Amino acid sequence: MPDTAANQAEYPQPSNQKPGCGFPVVAFVAVFCLATGALLALSMGKWFLHDLSLFYFVRDAFVFGDILLADRGFCSYAELALMKQRGVDSVLRLHQRRKPDFRRGRILGLEDHVVTWTKPARRPRGLREADYRRLPDSLKVREVRYQVAVKGFRTREVTLATTLLNADIYFAEALAELYFLRWDVELDFRHLKITMQMDVLRCKKPAMVRKEIWAHLLAYNLIRSVMWEAAKHGSARARQLSVKGTMQHVLSFRETPALGELDDLPLKLVGRQIVPYRPDRIEPRVRKRRSKNYRLMTRPRAELKAALCG
């Protein structure tokens, strides 16, 4: 966001940037619907806050029967236990500090077992005292490890932690397939920040910055609702449709009155914007477009101007 004193006070720039040379940054944690891509809840804060600290404010988005699907940053005893108390199960990648031993516990299959996690002796930093007191003394957790054999993928081995303990209903292969779909949330964030141009904000005051973000989120959910309606009229699922293509059609019809038999025309056009299914697609992590041939700003602008004038 713009480098103003008000924005810096509310959302300070990263500590590795020199004063006057960086930009205020806001961090946020969002909850998305896996089936539709709709954004259900969001919390914002300073860039240095851990995801779990912000997750506290969106926990109410989960209701009985839901499944929390997230990466290893959310894999903690507290979150699994608090979600379970809500009637919400979890499928998370095991945190790197936990080292599973598949020789122990109740063996369900090859590298698949149920073990008992115990409540931490000290309250984890960022966890509120009331939540810590609510935690049970122990929790049954299923750990599953599987191999990723796709060439080009950085991760070769994944270990999951889940409260879905029944191996006769929740097969290890199904859990692996479910976690593979977690990548959809990365695409949802990309659509928010890049497709909808929310990566660089324009407002100069924190209150207006928050309004700007919520306006983007409102527009994002509008696009997702159009995709959902188009999927109901066609043969494709909502997740198979193109967000960019839907945006273009919505913008092209925004000033066109819907008349009679043309009412369903936008939805039919959106329903044709099907993205090919490419589950093992890989791309090199490079940029083709070259940056401008200017040096980086390493001193505040006022000092640079003074040097030019001197």
Domain limit, last residue, from 162, 181, 200: 181
The answer to whether residues 169 and 200 belong to one domain is: no
b/e per residue, 195-227, with b = 16+ CB within 10 A?
Answer: bbebeebebeebeebbeebeebbeebeebbebb
In a domain, 203, yes or no: yes
pLDDT tens digits for range 258-309: 544 446 777 888 888 888 887 777 778 888 888 888 888 888 888 889 888 8
Residue 229: helix, strand or coil by DSSP?
A: helix
pLDDT tens digits for range 136-148: 999 999 999 998 8
The answer to whether residues 63 and 81 belong to one domain is: yes
The answer to whether residues 102 and 225 belong to one domain is: no
Residue 179's closest CA among 152, 224, 148, 221?
A: 148
Percent with pLDDT over 90 in the chain: 68
The answer to whether residues 34 and 162 belong to one domain is: yes
The answer to whether residues 155 and 31 belong to one domain is: yes
Q: Could you list the residue range(s) of the whole structural domain that residue 211 is in? A: 187-283
Calpha distance 301→29 (Å, rounded): 33
pTM exceeds 0.85, yes or no: yes
- Say yes or no to pLDDT of 28 above 80: yes
Helix (H) or strand (E) holding 299: none
User: Tokens in use for 3?
Assistant: 């480098």
In a domain, 289, yes or no: no
In a domain, 121, yes or no: yes
Domain limit, last residue, from 181, 203, 220: 181
Q: How confident is the model at residue 89 (pLDDT cuts 50, 70, 90)?
A: very high
The answer to whether residues 200 and 250 belong to one domain is: yes
Domain limit, last residue, from 181, 202, 220: 181
In a domain, 295, yes or no: no
The answer to whether residues 64 and 159 belong to one domain is: yes
The answer to whether residues 92 and 219 belong to one domain is: no
The answer to whether residues 66 and 160 belong to one domain is: yes
CA angle 213, 219, 224 (to 5 degrees): 125
Question: Which pLDDT value is given to residue 261?
Answer: 45
The answer to whether residues 87 and 116 belong to one domain is: yes
In a domain, 125, yes or no: yes
In a domain, 230, yes or no: yes
In a domain, 299, yes or no: no
The answer to whether residues 19 and 145 belong to one domain is: yes
The answer to whether residues 154 and 218 belong to one domain is: no
- Please state the domain count of the chain: 2
In a domain, 119, yes or no: yes
